[in-house]
Chains A and B, each alone.
Chain A
Amino acid sequence: MAVTIDARGLACPEPVIMAKNAIEKNKEIIVLVDNDMAVENIRRLALKMACGFSVTEKEGGIRNIALVRTGSIDEVRGGGGASAREDELSCAVAAGTKATGPLVVVLADNHMGRGDDVLGDILIRGFVHTLLQLQPRPDKIICYNSGVKLAVKDSAVLDDLQELAKEGADILVCGTCVNYFELGDQIAAGHISNMYDIAETMAGAGRLLRP
């Protein structure tokens, strides 16, 4: 019979610590939590401690997590002994990544920083190129104001933006801005978007990166 741990209403890292203590003493446990961060942390705990993991969603946003230990207690202790601190650290990580929403990059200018436009041009080109090496990659990229010039045919970062799009990034190019700069026939990356989508995307971002 599985032991039930009620971790509802508790803040990170409390749920994952309770789960860890319980699975060290029991072969099967059920953990009740009410937030995605706790689910993610316990999912990682299960991976680390070689436990079977399954989660079912109950009414009122409650998640019912079942953990079943597959290894012996010694293995569990050996494998998870030093991990309590890691679990605590993962609170911040989980809060910053998928638990809260997509990574959105805002290209509001075709330069990076203020002070010198020649330098700003070099920097933005380096920045966009470097986005390809980010882990995780940006989920969405928004271009507005002179940032739309980065998405035109003869842009120095066009190949980088196209590559990002190919790898799954959704690139929103401000239609008003394209119209204002009269670049309608020159946009070569992303798709024309509007203020509703732009505002919604920014509001729904887990993290917003603005060079």
Chain B
Amino acid sequence: MEEQRYVVFLFPSVSYALKAEKILKAAGIVHKLIPVPRHISSDCGVCLRITEAKEQDVAGALRGKVAWDKVVLL
């Protein structure tokens, strides 16, 4: 079985991450709020993890509503 690849969306603060999560929930996009992995530095301790294939969907859903810092491949 092929290993699932994930990306994480990093946000400027916890409240951004929460707002983004609400939007993804409403849009029915599967996601997981996780602590920012150790090797990625971020002021905000949480990020949203999604499968790599969903990156464009998520970017589309969040654009204009919540700003994010960057997207990092896990």
Contacts and interface: CB of A to CB of B under 8 A. Distances in A.
Nearest to A122: B46
Interface of A: 118-119, 122, 125-126, 129-130, 156, 159
Residues of B contacting A: mostly = strand
7 contacts: A122-B14, A125-B34, A126-B33, A126-B35, A126-B46, A129-B35, A156-B33
Interface residues of B, number: 9
Contacts of A119: 14
B32 A122 contact: no
Contacts of B14: 119, 122
B35 to A, nearest CB: 4
A130 B45 CA distance: 13
Q: Counting chain B CB atoms within 10 Å of each CB, which of A118, A126, A130, A159 scores highest?
A: A126
B66 interface: no
A176 to B, nearest CB: 30
B24 interface: no
B18 interface: yes
Contacts of B17: 122
8 tightest A-B CB contacts, nearest first: A126-B35, A129-B34, A125-B33, A122-B46, A130-B35, A126-B46, A122-B33, A126-B34
Contacts of A125: 33-34
Contacts of B33: 122, 125-126, 156
B60 to A, nearest CB: 23
A118 B19 CA distance: 12
Contacts of A130: 35
Contacts of B45: 126
Interface string B27-53: 000001111000000000110000000
A159 B35 contact: no
Interface string B14-27: 10011000000000
A176 B21 CA distance: 32
B32 A156 contact: yes
Contacts of A118: 18
A178 to B, nearest CB: 24
A162 to B, nearest CB: 13
Given A122-B14, A122-B18, A159 B46 contact: no
